[in-house]
Amino acid sequence: MSTNLENEAAKYKRVIEKIKTGMMVTRYQSDTNIKARPMATIKVEDNGDLWFFTNEFSEKAREISGNNEVIITYSHPTSNDYIVVNGIANVITDKEKIKELWQPVIRMWFPRGLNDTKLCLLKVEPTEVEYWSGSTSRVLVFFKMVSSMFSRDVYKLGEYGRFGLR
């Protein structure tokens, strides 16, 4: 990985770890129907891979088995951080990996814990990431918005980036 890409990936990882929950978009029935649902990110690997727990027999697992292209959006309006991840998702049933990533909070969805036979992981390998990051000062954001209205300059939220990981 080049130094610039490493910096981009590190920033991406930091923001997702702060936000934690993203909206995962999958396709179902045909390529024209999409569905979104909140997903708690369990881990962000240094290479950008994302891990989630799910039910192996869930609707999202079925959708991914039919078309494994997904989009995950993360939003943190308070800090003006936004990320869109395009990636390839796969259902992982490896018991050792499940044990490695297990966290007690997962019991909310899987009360039987590691003994739950439906418990599996979703691994998302990002192919492209876009992010927007701006000032956390509401006064500064407001000032820039008003200023751009009168100066006829395009309002810029802050930093924007797009990079591929694969």
Of residues 129, 114, 39, the one with CA closest to residue 84? 129
pTM, two decimal places: 0.82
The answer for residues whose C-beta is within 8 angstroms of residue 55's C-beta and 6 or more apart is 61, 109, 110, 118, 119, 120
Check pLDDT > 80 for residue 157.
Answer: no
CATH number at residue 116: 2.30.110.10
- The CA distance from 66 to 129, in Å, is 23
Residue 61: the pLDDT is: 94
**Which has the higher per-residue pLDDT, 156 or 16?**
16
Residue 36: which domain range? 3-164
Number of domains within the chain: 1
